[in-house]
Structure formats: structure tokens, C-alpha cells
Amino acid sequence: MDYPSSMILRMLQTENPANDEKLLRSHSIWLCVNCEMCLSRCPIEIDIPSMMDYLRQRSVSEKKVNRKAKNVFAFHKSFLNSIKLTGRLYEIGLIADYKRQSLNLLQDVSLAPKMLRRGKLPLLPESIRRISQIRKIFKRTSKQ
């Protein structure tokens, strides 16, 4: 990480536009996996995962995504595309979209046959009943 979460909080507290710019272009905001370990350990219960989500979203909307985060950003978009399509994660669709965006076409290709044999990669996506509601959420949030 170029900035640990404690420094990110301090940079946000300064309300300095130069610090905001550094954060939006940082690699750190893309490395947080939202495990919520920091939230569970924080004595004043600062919701750092939500803050990172906000910074990532703002980074995307302002087109300031760090170049080093290219693959993380590609996975982020692929994951959301999968949810938008079916309302739940469709692994093969996620993998195909990620490979297309990241151009890491041969990465982990040897795992696919084993996962297919074990039934870990369903060939057809499974959709939720009211997918239209999920799409409304995506439509509403993309306007904001």
C-alpha cells in the first residue's frame, strides 16, 4: 500500500484538495479487500471499508484509477457486471469478462478443467427472481 488506512484517514481529515487527489490516484484504495478486520478492531468503529468503497467509486467516476490497479479494477468491474446480469455471481461470466478486460488470458487456465469436473463452475448462470429490482439499483446508483 502506498498509504496505510490510518494515513488515508488523516489525509481525508485535512480537507486538502491535493490530499484528496493523491488518495483518488492511490493504489491503496484498490488493495483493500473489505474484510472488515480494521472495522472490528477499531476502538472508535470507523467504517474504513465503506470509506474505501467511496474512494474507489469516486476514483472511477473522476477517471483517476491508479495504473497499478488495472487488474484489480478489471476484476471489480467484472464482478459488478456479473451481479448486474444475474443478480448473483456467475463464475464463468466473471472469469470471461475479467480475462477480456485485463488481457490475462492464460492466467490460471489450468485450473478450469479441475473446477469443471468438481462442479465448481456451473455452465449456465442462475438468476434471481426479481432481477429487475437489481437493475434498478444499478441504474439509480450509476446516475449519482
What tens digit of pLDDT does each residue of 42-81 get?
899 899 999 999 999 999 999 999 999 999 999 989 999 9
Among the listed residues 67, 71, 60, 75, the one whose alpha carbon sits nearest the alpha carbon of residue 142: 60
| DSSP element (H, E) containing 53 | helix 48-61
Average pLDDT, stretch 99-108? 87
Model confidence at 88: pLDDT above 80? yes
Residue with cell 434498478: 136
How many angstroms separate the CA atoms of 99 and 92, rounded?
10
**Is residue 1 pLDDT above 60, yes or no?**
yes
Of the pLDDT bands very low, low, confident and very high (cuts 50, 70, 90), residue 143 is low
Residue 144 has pLDDT above 60, yes or no: no
